[in-house]
Amino acid sequence: MFPISRLFSLVLTLALVPVFLNGCATHKVPQKKTPVTAGHKQVLPRKPGGYYRVRKGDSLYSIAWRVGLDYRTLARWNGLRSPYTIYPGQRIRLSAPKTSSHPVPPKSSKATGNTAKKPVPRGKVDKPAAQPKNKRPAPPPVSRPAKKPPKAAISALHWQWPVRGRVLSRFASNDAAKGGIRIGGRKGQRIVAAESGQVVYVGSGLIGYGQLIIIKHNNKYLSAYGHNSRLLVKEGDKVSRGQHISDMGVTHKGTPLLYFEIRRYGKPVDPLKYLPR
């Protein structure tokens, strides 16, 4: 005979098998997806429009440089005068202000109701003096054209290469990332001012340029020098053509080079058309 104790153990084992199998089964638990967010960096738009909130280290020149506008245009839109001082937290308009579409008509006599003419006082009316006979009237004075003021002498700019090296990439008018040229060299190589002028921006607030220097040469032209490792000038300094302003640095990829750009009225132009061959 089969022992009762063995029979009881067998029945208990068979009863616990489904429970054990269910416990070993795996269940896929849906994982909650976490959105990936970019780093919190305030980047200026590349196209005009809207407003920009000024941050520490910004200048009107750097803001105008990013959006591709002439700094004087940006100053006019925001009612700023030279030296174009701005403050952190200030809102800068990046588009022309809207003008009123309903101009106010000039005041007329009908609007004021004053339509009556002034009465002419009664009395003796003076007659024009009689002209002597056989005397021709004097000819009217001859109006001569006003002399044009002499043109102001505009000193021509004489550009020079900011560094010796091979051109790694050229200017492309249809590519915003190629608004200048990249000149290869070695880290620590001397960078000089391509022309005399005044330093209007020094800093790293413009993403993609590294340590950047912007020089104003006259009311038309600005030049920029990017990816510097050592800065030898500060904002407001006046520099001469060929003056040592910085040392060459490297890009985020570790390539030593200088990014050089020339802008005319806020728009990038091909530097190779200005630099000597």
Give pLDDT tens digits for 37-95: 223 333 444 455 688 888 888 888 888 888 888 888 988 999 998 888 888 888 998 88
Domains and CATH numbers, the chain: 51-93 (3.10.350.10), 167-273 (2.70.70.10)
Nearest to 221, CA basis, from 174, 268, 254 = 268
Q: Could you tell me which residue, 104 or 86, shows the higher pLDDT?
A: 86
Residue pair 269/217 in contact (Cβ under 8 Å)? The answer is no
Residue 227 clears pLDDT 90, i.e. is over it: yes
- Across the chain, mean pLDDT equals 76
Q: Kindly state the average pLDDT of the residues 108-112.
A: 48
Residue 123 clears pLDDT 70, i.e. is over it: no
Say what the pLDDT of residue 185 is. 95
The neighbouring-strand residues paired with 213 are 202, 225
For residue 107, what are its two tokens?
Answer: 């005041």
Q: Quickly list H helices, 96-214.
A: 109-112
Q: Tell me the C-alpha distance between 51 and 58, whole Å.
A: 14
Q: Tell me the C-alpha distance between 240 and 192, whole Å.
A: 9
Give pLDDT tens digits for 243-253: 999 999 999 89
Residue 109 clears pLDDT 80, i.e. is over it: no
Q: Kindly state the average pLDDT of the residues 190-206.
A: 95
Residue 121 clears pLDDT 70, i.e. is over it: no
Q: How many CA atoms lie within 13 A of 268 on its CB side?
A: 24
Residue 174 binned pLDDT confidence (cut-offs 50, 70, 90): confident
Say what the pLDDT of residue 1 is. 52
Q: Could you tell me which residue, 238 or 101, shows the higher pLDDT?
A: 238
- What's the pTM? 0.62
Q: Could you tell me which residue, 272 or 116, shows the higher pLDDT?
A: 272
Say what the pLDDT of residue 183 is. 97
Q: Kindly state the average pLDDT of the residues 100-128.
A: 52
Q: Quickly list H helices, the chain.
A: 4-24, 60-67, 71-77, 109-112
